[in-house]
Amino acid sequence: MAQFEAPGAVREVRVLPPDAAGGPPREITVLRFGSPGARPKAYLQAGLHADEFPGMLVLRHLAAELSEAVARGEMLGEVVLVPQANPIGIAQQEYGFLQGRFDVTSGRNFNRDYPDLADGVANAVAGQLGADPQANVAVIRAAMGSALEQIMPSCPLETLRKTLMELAYDADLVLDLHADNEALLHLYVGTPLWPDAADLAAELDARAVLTAEVSGGHPFDEACGGPWWQLAKRFPDLPIPPACLSATVELRSNDDVDDAVARTDAAALLRLLQRRGLVAGEPGQMPRLLCEATPLDAMQQVRAPAEGLISYRARLGDRLRAGDVIADIIDPLGAVTPVPATTDGLLFARHSQKYAWVGKVIGKVAGAVPLAERKGLLLTE
């Protein structure tokens, strides 16, 4: 099979060990643009949930854009792209579909349980931090790298987690590209990173931005960005900036693979890299921000109260009031059960499979007021 050409990139391959059943080792291809160690550094990956496809195509197009930037001498920082971040999930092809959200060996979500570096790094840097914020950033990044080196993975999934973290932990910008079942483009961002992330939301025309300091489950973006605000709390008298802007970018719907849309998204990400000093060039006027950030614990996870077919009354993008019926659950041999919104907000996600069982999440509404039931694990598993 012909290899994708990104002439401006340095290509490297990271190899995961074979699984316990003796399957073949899996490879992660990494594309590096710019001089190693140049600042700022950006890390972008796609396909961590291997059955969420749009980001893979977006990063292919972004790689082509960055190759042209290299040829023009416009690379100012370093950009690391991993267009297909999960070779384990890509290999899970069963019943005619990719099963890419969960590791079939362990049952674990591929975007959970990343290393929590904050406590170990805090102990390692105690006494080494001072009044210079940039010097503190350098000390903390070195401690993060040392902490990752000490992790000894016991399985391919743990090796995958460590490998991706090693590529990303020292980046100034980390974007983990995902997609939802049926959705408008939306972001998950750490609360301390807003409104700094507003340029990302504006460039991508995000329709919802969900913020939390701790979303539960320790996903990849939080593992990269979260230690910085945790360390700032641990050492309140020392200047520790949020040195990694990390976000999960949900590029609409899982199966919406459209070349023209992917090119548009890649162009938006290139403009973001220009605005943030990684690539030379004029990005033009900032697009209008289409939404304000709202708390993740104010987002209603619309759960089915009954089993049956899902007939949606509300469309993506509808502004709802509490009590508005989002969908009906129709038992083919029984009752029809309406499912109401419990908060005012925007319906930004629905489920693509139109059959529900009790408790299944069939929609998401971005509200502004925290909901009493939204505690603990705030993300859909």
CA–CA dist 142, 136 (Å, integer): 10
With a cut of 90, say whether residue 294 has pLDDT above it. Answer: yes
Q: Which residue ranges form the domains of the chain, and what is each CATH number?
A: 10-291 (3.40.630.10), 295-367 (2.40.50.100)
Q: What is the mean pLDDT of residues 226-251?
A: 98
**pLDDT tens-digit readout, 310-364:** 999 999 999 999 999 999 999 999 999 999 999 999 999 999 999 999 999 999 9
With a cut of 70, say whether residue 2 has pLDDT above it. Answer: no
**pLDDT tens-digit readout, 123-143:** 999 999 999 999 999 999 999
CA–CA dist 374, 365 (Å, integer): 13
CA–CA dist 325, 313 (Å, integer): 7
Percent pLDDT > 70 in the chain is 99
pLDDT on residue 77:
98
Kindly calculate the radius of gyration of the chain based on its CA atoms and give it in whole angstroms.
21
**Ramachandran assignment for 24, one of left (phi > 0), alpha (psi -120 to 50 degrees), beta (any other):** beta
b/e for 90-121, b at 16 or more Cβ within 10 A? bbbeeeeebebbbbeeeebbbbbbbbebbebb
**What token pair was written down for 135?**
């010097």
> pTM of this prediction?
0.97
pLDDT on residue 300:
98
With a cut of 60, say whether residue 1 has pLDDT above it. Answer: no
Question: Per-residue DSSP letters for 328-359?
Answer: EEE-TTS-EEEEE-SSSEEEEEE-SS-EE-TT
Q: Is 68 helix (H, G, I), strand (E, B) or coil?
A: helix
pLDDT on residue 4:
75
Q: Which residue has the tokens 């000390």?
A: 139
With a cut of 60, say whether residue 219 has pLDDT above it. Answer: yes
